[in-house]
Amino acid sequence: MLELLTKALGVPRHVLADDEQIEHAWSQLPRLIKRIPPELRDERIVRMCVAVASGLFDAAINYVWNAAILELREKVRRFGIAVVPQVLDDKSFDEDALLDLKDAELLDLCLKLNLIGDDDYFFLDQCRATRNSFSAAHPAEGVVDEDEFLAFLSRCQKHALSSAHNPKGVDTKAMLTALKTARFKKDQREEWERRVRETYDAQRELIFVMLHGIYCDPASVEEARLNALSICEAFSDEFSPRTRSALIDRHQEYKAKGDETRQKASLQFFEKVGQLSLLTEAEVHSIFTAASRKLLTVHNGWDNFHNEPPFAERLARLSRKNRVPESAQTTFVDAVVTAGTGNEYGTSHAAMGYYREMVTSFSPNEVRLMLEIPAGSSLVARRIKSNKSCERRFRTLVALIDAKTVPTAAKSLHKRWLPTA
For 152-167, what is each residue's pLDDT tens digit?
999 999 999 986 667 7
334 lies in the same domain as 267: no
Task: Please say if the pLDDT value at position 202 is more than 90.
Answer: no
164 domain-assigned: no
Task: Please say if the pLDDT value at position 269 is more than 60.
Answer: yes
Bridge partner list, 346: 343
341 lies in the same domain as 254: no
Q: Name the residue type at position 187.
A: D
- Report DSSP state, residue 271: H
Number of domains the chain contains: 3
Residue after which a domain boundary falls, among 243, 272, 301: 272
Higher confidence at residue 321 or residue 108?
A: 108
- Report DSSP state, residue 88: H
Q: What pLDDT, on the 0 to 100 scale, is given for residue 145?
A: 86
304 lies in the same domain as 404: yes
Q: Indicate the angle between helix axes 186-198 and 201-216, nearest 10 degrees.
A: 140
Q: What pLDDT, on the 0 to 100 scale, is given for residue 17?
A: 65
Residue-wise pLDDT tens digits, 294-317: 999 999 988 888 999 999 999 999
Dihedral of the alpha carbons of 217, 221, 226, 227, in degrees to the nearest 10: -100
Q: What is the average pLDDT value for the chain, to the nearest integer?
A: 89
Q: What pLDDT, on the 0 to 100 scale, is given for residue 230?
A: 95
Residues of the domain holding 410: 281-417
pTM of the complete model:
0.64
Distances (CA, A) of 225 to 209, 234, 347: 13, 15, 35
402 lies in the same domain as 332: yes
Task: Please say if the pLDDT value at position 19 is more than 90.
Answer: no
Q: What pLDDT, on the 0 to 100 scale, is given for residue 93?
A: 87
Q: Taken in order 188, 193, 199, 201, is the CA torsion positive or negative?
A: positive
Alpha-helical segments (H) within 16-170: 19-34, 43-53, 57-80, 84-88, 95-100, 103-112, 118-134, 146-159
Give the confidence band of 56 by pLDDT, cuts at 50, 70, 90: confident
Higher confidence at residue 84 or residue 375?
A: 375
Cβ contact 200:114 at 8 Å: yes
Q: What pLDDT, on the 0 to 100 scale, is given for residue 6?
A: 57
Map residue 258 onto helix, strand or coil: coil
Q: What pLDDT, on the 0 to 100 scale, is given for residue 12?
A: 60
Cα 375 from Cα 227, distance rounded (Å): 48
